[in-house]
Structure 1
């Protein structure tokens, strides 16, 4: 009996994982033209749900995400290009609506920070390694110390 419960739960969980994004887009939103629908899905995957913030509008069930999906589809039906749709949505909601920000002067810090952090870490590790190597190299013996060492070795 326990195995049956586990199997049913596992099947339900697997179905839940595979159908999660299909539940977000309502059937009344789907366009009849398959090419326009494919473009709408591709564009919807690029926009952030302003309510959920870590989901695309294509995956979100929020009302605002639904409104954005409908807006994207309306713009495509009216003949807008993909770039025009993206520019329109960004002009209304700002750059934050894009899940992958554009590479511009405004976002240079956003794109450059990981590179700078990696480069800084590499430089810090190199400096640490050099300082450690220099610190552990013994100083050469002076003539007086060398003579004292030879005398001790001769006596023993």
Structure 2
């Protein structure tokens, strides 16, 4: 019988994946070892969609767990950053309260299990590369809000 995945193993997988998204994984890991934020540029694996934390938290809770990708938050400046697929910019262009940054935009990231300078992962990368679908994210921020098919009446 397979063993359940330990939270520490999930953190390690998420850290490994995120570090590998950097052009300099060793520098990313060194920053994390020093308890610093690691600057990781968006693209080619993902883009960053930014919202306020007050808009992002309700939207995040409207999305089912299995459909929600990584979300980084900063409790000091009140911002949330969603990792989304690279083609998401066009799909999210008209979504109020959400800004998609172009490839190359740098996101300062802590490791999975640590708060650094007020930044922490609301939902951590799991190492699989799974990202929030832009249509689901747009619906969560939209006026009708996203509802699971079982919740629709």
TM-score normalised per structure 1: 0.25
Instruction: Decide which structure has greater strand share.
Output: 2
Q: Which has the higher contact order (CA 8 A, sep 6+)?
A: 2
Give the structure with the higher percent helix: 1
